[in-house]
Structure 1
């Protein structure tokens, strides 16, 4: 179910329709508002220029976060593969130990 959320970004009111809940959308709107205001205050640029630069900055952050997440996924997969190999090796060693113990018991 889509939610209608009204938010103010840099003094302009926007009505957004999204599947996410209102609190989440307000958080996103606040991020955009903060980024734009920061750019407008520090670089003394127009609202339109701040909106474009904010979009570029946020897209950059998103891309870096996605790349970081992908790197973590690869690391976790490597660790899981290593753990699986270690588990298989341990099972093989237990089997060999059991066989050796069985042979010792037959001799003794």
Structure 2
């Protein structure tokens, strides 16, 4: 659904149609107005067009760096997920091995108990 939003940037009104929440678009416009105004205050000889272009380039630069950072974070997370998966597989294998060793240990204890009992029985019959 398209929303109609009126914003003012550097004293000029713009009537926009957007699918975004109107308050979000108004916030964006206020931030842009603030950045352009600040640039023009710091660079008194800059025209509105130059200020808008420079602010636009700065915002695009910030966006590109953010996208790059997000891509790097995604790659790191993917690595962590793969590592966690490998660790989970290894833990499962170690649990199985531990269970097998416990079973073998129990079997050996039983065998030892039986041999000990046989030795006692054999010792009492001799």
CA distance in 1, matches of 2:50, 2:40: 9
| 4+ long deviations beyond 6 Å | none
Counterpart in 1 of 2:76? 75
Partner of 2:97: 96
Counterparts of 1:57 and 1:49, CA distance in 2: 12
Determine if the alignment matches structure 1 residue 65 to structure 2 residue 66: yes
Specify which structure has the bigger relative contact order, considering alpha-carbon pairs within 8 angstroms and separated by 6 or more residues: 1
Q: How does 1:15-34 map to 2 (within 5 A)?
A: 15-34=15-34
Structure 1: tracts of 5 or more residues without a match:
none
**2:107: which partner in 1?**
106
TM-score by length of 2: 0.82
**SS at 1:20 equivalent:** coil
In the other structure, the counterpart of 1:48 is: 49
For 1:74 and 1:30, locate their aligned partners in 2 and report how far apart those are by CA, in whole Å. Answer: 34
CA RMSD of aligned residues (A): 0.9
- Whichever of the two has the greater Rg, that structure is 2
- Where 1:8 maps in the other structure, the secondary structure is strand
User: How far off its partner does 1:74 sit?
Assistant: 0.9
